[in-house]
């Protein structure tokens, strides 16, 4: 299969940079990677950032290779203008022969926010963009830096052409194709936590791990909104890597009783030290989260097939997506497509 990121319109080397960044752990800093290619389109070097106190991706790359004037640098986030615990990457890059830089996103950090790009342009460098690379890798970054929001919530659903989210006539639990699946794994690798509902655990038994793509050691915290069903004991031992969120008390390390009329997702995420959560829910969860209008982003994967019997995606959620959210992009994924939304 082609790299699934090619379907989101990223060039080959930005795809490589995104995967390299997703393979790092940098929090509270953003995951960033840089890829340098020569004039034959071969990768000369890759740089990554490993978190506070370590080299930024550009500095990591500069320390490993000599940049020549025909090289192209792909970097997932605008190089920092400011110097902090590390030097200004923009100034350090200007000390090399670099002439061509492709940037994933502007850095919303006010200390940089477009200043490096302006400086590069003033110095005559050729600057291009492949927007949404950093937003994809670090979905929490904008909230963390400018909105002072405690967390970032992302919804995801897969449906048939006629909006069914579950097919009770098929043993195959996947409604969408392998590109949709691989992109879902990229979304999983970008967050700290993933949540599903009880029936998804019981029917689909998803592993919620990151496979399909070349990303190692990504272990988002797994959460199941279990609800009120007292038959929990055998499921707890079978799924000891999940936190069960319940509306009743139960003595076990991985049970958190929080689901009542005052339920606040922020409180739960704070307890679990989660900043970004992907909700791979069914109707109940998506109704709850869209009714409370708290998704920052929503990803809807849709196949071209019709399903004749099962569960239909709730009209309430669809109406809320249309009313309260802005459609950002529609990407063809062979016989599927992906529509992305953001909260207005």
Ligand X SMILES: NC(=O)c1ccc[n+]([C@@H]2O[C@H](COP(=O)([O-])OP(=O)(O)OC[C@H]3O[C@@H](n4cnc5c(N)ncnc54)[C@H](OP(=O)(O)O)[C@@H]3O)[C@@H](O)[C@H]2O)c1
Q: What are phi and psi of 26, to 5 degrees?
A: -130, -5
Give the residue with the Cβ less far from ligand X, 70 or 264. Answer: 264
- Strand segments (E) across 198-321: 221-227, 242-246, 255-257, 276-279, 297-303, 310-312
Q: Are 4 and 189 in contact (CB under 8 A)?
A: no
297-to-60, 109, 146, 339, 344 alpha-carbon distances in Å: 32, 21, 17, 11, 10
247: CB partners within 8 A, 6+ apart: 227, 228, 257, 259, 260
Sign of CA dihedral 75, 120, 139, 339: negative
Nearer to ligand X, 123 or 238 (CB): 238
Strands 310-312 and 164-167 turn out to be antiparallel
CB of 53 to ligand X, least distance (A): 39
Smallest gap, in angstroms, from Cβ of residue 261 to ligand X?
8
Nearest to residue 121, comparing CAs of 104, 107, 109, 103? Answer: 103
Q: Report the residue number, 134 or 283, with the smaller CB distance to ligand X.
A: 283
Q: Is 118 a catalytic residue?
A: no
| Marked catalytic residue, from 58, 92, 130, 280 | 58
**Least Å distance between CB 262 and ligand X?**
10
| Smallest separation, CB 234 to ligand X (Å) | 16
Pairwise CA distance, residues 250 & 293, whole Å: 30
Chain position whose Cβ is nearest to ligand X: 227
Q: Would you tell me which residues interact with ligand X (CB under 6 A)?
A: 157-158, 165-166, 175, 196-200, 203-204, 225, 227-229, 247, 259, 263, 280-285, 288, 311
Q: Catalytic site residues?
A: 58
């Amino acid at each position: 299969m082609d790299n699934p990121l090619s379907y989101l319109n990223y060039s080959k080397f930005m795809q490589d940079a995104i995967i390299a960044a997703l393979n790092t752990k940098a929090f509270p800093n953003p995951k960033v990677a840089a890829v340098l290619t020569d004039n034959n389109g071969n990768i000369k070097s890759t740089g990554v950032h490993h978190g506070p106190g370590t080299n930024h991706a550009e500095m990591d790359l500069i320390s490993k290779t000599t940049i020549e004037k025909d090289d192209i640098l792909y970097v997932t986030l605008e190089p920092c203008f400011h110097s902090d615990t590390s030097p200004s990457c923009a100034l350090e890059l200007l000390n090399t022969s670099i002439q061509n830089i492709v940037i994933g996103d502007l850095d919303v950090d006010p200390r940089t926010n477009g200043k490096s790009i302006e400086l590069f342009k003033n110095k005559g460098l050729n600057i291009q963009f492949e927007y949404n690379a950093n937003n994809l890798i670090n979905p929490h970054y904008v909230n963390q830096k400018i909105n002072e929001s405690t967390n970032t919530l992302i919804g995801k659903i897969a449906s048939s052409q006629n909006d069914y989210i579950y097919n009770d006539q098929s043993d195959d639990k996947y409604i969408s194709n392998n590109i949709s699946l691989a992109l879902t794994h990229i979304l999983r690798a970008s967050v700290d936590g993933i949540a599903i509902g009880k029936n998804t655990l019981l029917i689909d038994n998803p592993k919620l791990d990151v496979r399909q793509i070349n990303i190692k050691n990504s272990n988002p915290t797994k959460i199941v909104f279990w609800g009120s069903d007292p038959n929990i004991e055998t499921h707890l031992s079978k799924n000891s890597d999940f936190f069960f969120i319940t509306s009743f008390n139960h003595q076990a390390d991985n049970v958190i009783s929080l689901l009542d009329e005052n339920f606040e997702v922020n409180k739960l995420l704070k307890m679990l030290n989660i900043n970004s959560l992907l909700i791979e829910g069914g109707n109940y969860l998506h109704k709850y989260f869209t009714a409370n209008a708290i998704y920052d982003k929503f990803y809807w994967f849709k196949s071209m097939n019709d399903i004749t019997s099962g569960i239909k995606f709730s009209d309430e959620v669809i109406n809320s997506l249309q009313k309260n959210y802005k459609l950002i992009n529609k990407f063809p994924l062979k016989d599927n497509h992906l529509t992305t939304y953001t909260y207005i």
